[in-house]
């Protein structure tokens, strides 16, 4: 690739407003697999005084006809991915007819035909694969859409409300849709297919009846009730918590199997990956049920935070995504366990996001520079963006935060705006200065905090000094405004009041300087400090906690999250201490006793207990080391797990046998299954006849959570039953591709030496399909992210497997390839042998003819 051929970067600082507005868009689709005709009629108005050209975006389009005000027009040219039209009047109607080929569009962007249905995906820049358009989020337009297709495609769907339908003269049929709300092109949607439909209604708090419709592939209707119920819960929650009501007459969700993302919030017509919709007890796990509820909520909440108010440019992506992730996290927390939802969110932050922050793709939640926008749908923009919103909520409080949301909508409904606009609304509504806090939007990297504690027994004073420092890879970062929450526990485990000189102190400390000291008096004995309670800021905290203090926090902290966090620190501390002699690694008797107490208790939040007895992931341990010590971490954690399994075998067996769930999806039953699953995880490592019988029974359950718990346990323990149980699962579920994704993910976890040959053989399995992102992510994605010992083999064969796949996907689906590349991005953090092998795969990609922009950006940054 020559320098002139390299994809070019775009910069936030270069933003300019569009020189035309598109007041109205009228689209007509004549759907044909290889030859779809798209007629676009755009009502244009010039927004500037100079006579500049109209530049429209387009990719893989065949322009057939172009007219201005009903007259053929020739003063245009096509240059690369742009249609440039000169000398247009101040206001006019532009008509364009283009042809596209949905059947050969394997990128799953724009309009594509897959799985027997036409479908669109336009975010971020897919609309330009449908017709020439100003494909940018700050160009808002109303839409009328007519879809013409063969009658075999029974449902013809688009955004808004259906206003007409009927037959055409040539024996086909049509439907016409009208969306009265202005929207950017990325929110456009079209689906045509023959689906089963679940219909329902929801009555808003103002008394409007909304029609709900969920479209799924034939035969899947029994798997839809949970999704539709989740939608109704989300609609009610948004009314109660945020006073936001749905605006159209119908809300539709379509589930398709070929989809790059989890789901898409297109106005009134959400398109979902089928795995994020379909569920029943026989085919879906409790985790699937939770994920469906969360994602259905997320896309619905976008109706206001993303659709009614959208982002001015793609650099502002976190404006809608960070805010909406925060909203869906709050939705899940209000409906379920706040502690478990917080634990899940922080796991993502401390592993994937912190790693991204420390690597070559580090970027602020509002990036300054981008080559391929699809590469910035990241954990930083989404999950760190949500943490920034959560910190704002912490600083303002619920009442002021809601005032800020109300002012935000009052000011900006129907507009495309910036992150600055959102912060201004929050600041103005609360009268709280957020000027320093805004640095979170502009600075990349994970801040580091050091906490120094001092207790003066004579004066009964406890002093906490907090030092903040810039990330190692961002040394010039300025001091941030960090909400630092604390709790002080006395020797009895009671929470101590925070006072100084007779005044009550807030438990959230405002850390704004490089070094700050906070003093609390009337502390009768040395307290145990719970610091950064509930992960009140996305920072790396350095504190010297003894095993005694961590066990004290684990027992008594008021925050369940902080109890879990102390447990994580206990295991991390033990791993670090064992590094000098991995083969003799052993957990202390105190830790084993604490785990025994948890297992024997069988009371309280059982799902939380399941988390408390689980070792942290490899990624969690790896985050603690500048150079990741792969072999040592695997050796030590394997020994720890075997020790726990052996020393607590009778307790795990007793716990498993005593727990009985009713098979429902209520919180108690889900918690019971979670704890039983962890018991099986450890029991499988003991490999006795009684345990084998228990595992076989669980694998034969009619509840998929129990089945997967059993299969996961035997695969991870290399149990003799794993082969027969996996073969039985294959024969039982080969007809259901989504269930087979679970099987592929389990196959990817084999830690045997022939693991890679096994994966290559599975490429030939009848259920596997390289063009389907779900299949590829289930098999190779699971292998590269979770099968640590085999992916990170010293001989580099694990890396070669992923490299071969990326080369193949580059030609099929570059967006999916880019997301699969992530494990290579941190290659410099590994030992010399592994780093060299990963770099070789990156170099293979860099030398590839026809390397996509999606991969080019990441590969170039990783190597340089």
Q: Is the peptide bond before 382 cis (omega within 30 degrees of 0)?
A: no
Please give the model's pTM, rounded to 2 decimal places.
0.96
Could you name the CATH architecture of 449-537?
Sandwich (2.60)
State the DSSP string of 465-483. EEEEE--TT-TTPPPP-EE
Assigned fold of 734-864: Zincin-like fold (1.25.50)
Residue with tokens 């075999």: 152
Q: How far is C-alpha 768 from the geometric centre of its chain's CA atoms?
A: 24
- Cβ proximity of 56 and 133 under 8 Å: yes
Helices then strands, counting H and E runs in the chain, come out as 29, 33
The per-residue pLDDT for range 298-308, each reduced to its tens digit, is 999 999 999 99
- The residues facing 401 across adjacent strands are none
Rg of the Cα trace of the chain? Answer: 28
Label residue 219 exposed, middle or buried (CB < 10 Å: 0-12, 13-18, 19+). exposed
In the CATH scheme, what architecture does the domain 310-442 have? Orthogonal Bundle (1.10)
pLDDT of residue 563: 97
Spatial CA neighbour of 296 closest among 231, 344, 248:
231
Cα separation, 709 vs 729, whole angstroms: 13
CB 112 within 8 A of CB 118: yes
Q: What is the pLDDT of residue 5?
A: 66
Q: Is 430 helix (H, G, I), strand (E, B) or coil?
A: helix
Any bridge partners for residue 469, and if so which?
448
How many residues appear in the chain? 864
d(CA 543, CA 350): 16
Q: How far is CA 818 from CA 108, 377, 739, 807, in A?
A: 14, 11, 25, 11
Measured distance CA(601)–CA(604) in Å, rounded: 8
Catalytic position from the list 265, 293, 299, 533: 299
Q: How far apart are CA 743 and CA 728, in angstroms?
A: 11
Q: Are 233 and 335 in contact (CB under 8 A)?
A: yes
CA distances from 845 to 4, 819, 823, 829, 854 (A): 18, 14, 14, 20, 12
Six-digit token string for 222? 């029994």
Q: How far is CA 203 from CA 192, 232, 244, 285, 327, in A?
A: 28, 9, 13, 30, 22
CA atoms within 13 A on the CB side of 143: 29
Token output for 23: 């007041």
Cβ-based neighbours of 544, under 8 Å, separated by 6 or more: none
Q: In terms of DSSP H, where are the helices of 688-736?
A: 689-699, 704-716, 722-733
465: tokens are 């000094």
- CB contact burial 459-492 (16+ within 10 A = b; e otherwise): eeebebebbbbbbeebeebebbbbbbbbbbbbee
In angstroms, rounded to a whole number, what is the distance separating the alpha carbons of residues 60 and 125?
Answer: 13
Give backbone dihedrals phi and psi of 363, rounded to 5 degrees, phi first: -155, 155
Residue of 234, 325, 230 whose CA lies nearest to 277: 230
Residue in 450, 456, 449, 451 with CA at minimum distance from that of residue 527: 456
Neighbours of 392 (CB within 10 A): 25
Q: How far is CA 675 from the centre of its chain?
A: 25
Task: Enumerate residues 6+ apart whose C-beta is below 8 A from 275.
Answer: 288, 738, 741, 774
DSSP 358: H
Residue 381, exposed/middle/buried by CB under 10 A (0-12, 13-18, 19+)? Answer: buried
DSSP string, 57-80: E-SS-EEEEEEETTEE---EEEET
How far apart are the C-alpha atoms of 394 and 537, rounded to whole Å?
A: 10
- List the structure tokens of 324: 């909406």
* Residue partners of 86: CB distance under 8 A and separation at least 6: 53, 75, 76
Contact by Cβ (8 Å): 841, 807: no
Q: What pLDDT is recorded for position 604? A: 85
**Which is it for strands 448-456 and 461-469: parallel, antiparallel or unpaired?**
antiparallel
pLDDT of residue 472: 86
Question: Is the dihedral angle over the CA atoms 689, 691, 697, 699 positive or is it negative?
Answer: negative
pLDDT for 531-583, tens place per residue? 999 999 999 999 889 999 999 999 999 999 999 999 999 999 999 999 989 99
What sections of 79-200 are H helices per DSSP?
none
- Integer Cα distance of 856 and 793 in angstroms: 26
Contact 127, 9 (CB under 8 A): no
Burial of 748 (0-12, 13-18, 19+ CB in 10 A): buried
Is the fold of 310-442 the same as that of 449-537?
Answer: no
Q: Whole-angstrom Cα distance, residue 695 to residue 677?
A: 10
Tell me the CA distances in angstroms from 437 to 433, 512, 608, 736, one per residue in order. 8, 9, 33, 49
Residues of the chain with pLDDT under 50: 1-3
Residue 422 CA to residue 305 CA, distance in Å, equals 11
Torsion sign across C-alpha atoms 47, 53, 55, 56: positive
Measured CA angle at 798 (ends 795, 799), to 5 deg: 90
Domain boundaries, the chain: 22-194, 310-442, 449-537, 734-864
Do 825 and 359 contact (CB within 8 A), yes or no?
yes
Active site annotation includes 299: yes
Q: Tokens 């994704």: give the residue.
A: 741
Residue 2, pLDDT score: 47
Looking at domain 22-194, does it have CATH number 3.40.50.720? no
């Amino acid at each position: 690739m020559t320098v002139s051929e390299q994809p070019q970067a775009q910069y936030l600082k270069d933003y300019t407003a569009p020189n035309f507005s598109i007041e109205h868009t009228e689209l007509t689709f004549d759907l044909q697999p290889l030859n779809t005709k798209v007629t676009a009629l755009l009502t244009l108005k010039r927004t500037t005084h100079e006579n500049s050209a109209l530049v429209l975006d387009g990719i893989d389009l065949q322009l057939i006809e172009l007219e201005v005000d009903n007259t053929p027009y020739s003063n245009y040219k096509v240059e690369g991915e742009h249609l440039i039209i000169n000398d247009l009047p101040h206001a006019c109607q532009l008509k364009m007819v283009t042809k596209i080929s949905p059947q050969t569009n394997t990128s799953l962007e724009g309009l594509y035909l897959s799985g027997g249905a036409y479908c669109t995906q336009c975010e971020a820049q897919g609309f330009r694969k449908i017709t020439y358009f100003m494909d940018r989020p700050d160009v808002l337009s109303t839409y009328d859409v007519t879809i013409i297709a063969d009658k075999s495609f029974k449902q013809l769907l688009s955004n808004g409300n259906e206003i007409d339908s009927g037959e055409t003269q040539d024996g086909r049929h049509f439907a016409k849709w009208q969306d009265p709300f202005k929207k950017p092109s990325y929110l456009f949607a079209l689906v045509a297919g023959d689906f089963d439909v679940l219909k329902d209604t929801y009555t808003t708090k103002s008394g409007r009846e909304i029609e709900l419709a969920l479209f799924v592939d034939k035969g899947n209707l029994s798997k839809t009730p949970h999704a539709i119920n989740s939608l109704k819960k989300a609609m009610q929650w948004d009314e109660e918590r945020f006073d936001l009501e749905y605006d159209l007459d119908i809300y539709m969700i379509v589930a398709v199997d070929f989809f790059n993302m989890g789901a898409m919030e297109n106005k009134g017509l959400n398109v979902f990956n089928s795995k994020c919709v379909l569920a029943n007890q026989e085919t879906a796990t409790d985790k699937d049920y939770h994920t469906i509820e969360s994602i259905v909520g997320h896309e619905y909440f976008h109706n206001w935070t993303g659709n009614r108010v959208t982002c001015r440019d793609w650099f502002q992506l976190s404006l809608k995504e960070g805010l909406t992730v925060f909203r869906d996290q709050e939705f899940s927390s209000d409906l379920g366990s706040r502690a478990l939802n917080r634990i899940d969110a922080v796991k993502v932050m401390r592993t994937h996001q912190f790693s991204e922050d420390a690597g070559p793709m580090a970027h602020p939640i509002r990036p300054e520079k981008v080559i391929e926008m699809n590469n910035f749908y990241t954990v930083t923009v989404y999950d760190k963006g949500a943490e920034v919103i959560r910190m704002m909520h912490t600083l303002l409080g619920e009442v002021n935060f809601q005032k800020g949301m109300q002012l935000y909508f009052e000011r900006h409904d129907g507009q495309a705006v910036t992150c600055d606009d959102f912060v201004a609304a929050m600041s103005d509504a609360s009268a709280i200065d957020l000027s320093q806090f805004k640095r979170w939007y502009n600075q990349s990297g994970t801040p580091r905090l050091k906490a120094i504690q001092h207790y003066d027994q004579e004066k009964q004073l406890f002093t906490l000094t907090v030092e903040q420092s810039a990330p190692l890879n961002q040394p010039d970062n300025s001091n941030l405004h960090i909400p630092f929450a604390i709790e002080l526990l006395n020797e009895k485990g009671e929470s101590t009041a925070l006072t100084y000189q007779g005044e009550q102190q807030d438990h959230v400390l405002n850390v704004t300087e490089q070094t700050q000291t906070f003093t609390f008096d009337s502390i009768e004995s040395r307290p145990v400090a719970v610091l950064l309670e509930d992960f009140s800021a996305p920072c790396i905290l350095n504190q010297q906690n003894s095993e005694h203090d961590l066990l004290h926090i684990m027992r008594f902290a008021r925050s369940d999250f902080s109890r879990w966090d102390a447990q994580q620190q206990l295991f991390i501390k033990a791993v670090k201490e064992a590094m000098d002699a991995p083969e003799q690694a052993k957990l202390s008797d105190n830790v084993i006793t604490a785990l025994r107490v948890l297992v024997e208790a069988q009371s309280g939040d059982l799902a939380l207990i399941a988390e408390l007895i689980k070792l942290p992931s490899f990624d969690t341990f790896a985050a603690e080391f500048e150079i990741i010590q792969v072999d040592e971490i695997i050796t030590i954690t394997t020994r720890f797990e075997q020790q726990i399994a052996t020393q607590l075998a009778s307790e795990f067996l007793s716990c498993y046998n005593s727990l009985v769930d009713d098979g429902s999806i209520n919180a108690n039953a889900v918690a019971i299954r979670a704890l039983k699953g962890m018991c099986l995880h450890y029991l499988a490592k003991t490999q006795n006849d009684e345990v084998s019988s228990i595992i076989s029974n669980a694998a034969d359950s009619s509840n998929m959570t129990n089945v997967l718990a059993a299969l996961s346990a035997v695969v991870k323990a290399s149990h003799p039953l794993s082969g027969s149980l996996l073969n039985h699962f294959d024969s039982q579920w080969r007809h259901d591709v989504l269930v087979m994704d679970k099987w592929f993910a389990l196959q990817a976890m084999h830690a045997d030496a022939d693991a890679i040959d096994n994966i290559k053989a599975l490429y030939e399995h009848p259920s596997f399909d390289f063009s389907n992102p779900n299949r590829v992510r289930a098999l190779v994605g699971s292998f590269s992210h979770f099968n640590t010992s085999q992916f990170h083999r010293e001989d580099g064969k694990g890396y070669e497997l992923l490299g071969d796949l990326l080369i193949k996907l580059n030609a099929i689906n570059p967006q999916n390839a880019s997301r699969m590349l992530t494990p290579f991005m941190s290659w410099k953090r590994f030992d010399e042998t592994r780093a060299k092998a990963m770099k070789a795969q990156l170099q293979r990609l860099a030398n590839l003819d026809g390397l996509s922009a999606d991969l080019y950006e990441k590969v170039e940054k990783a190597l340089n």
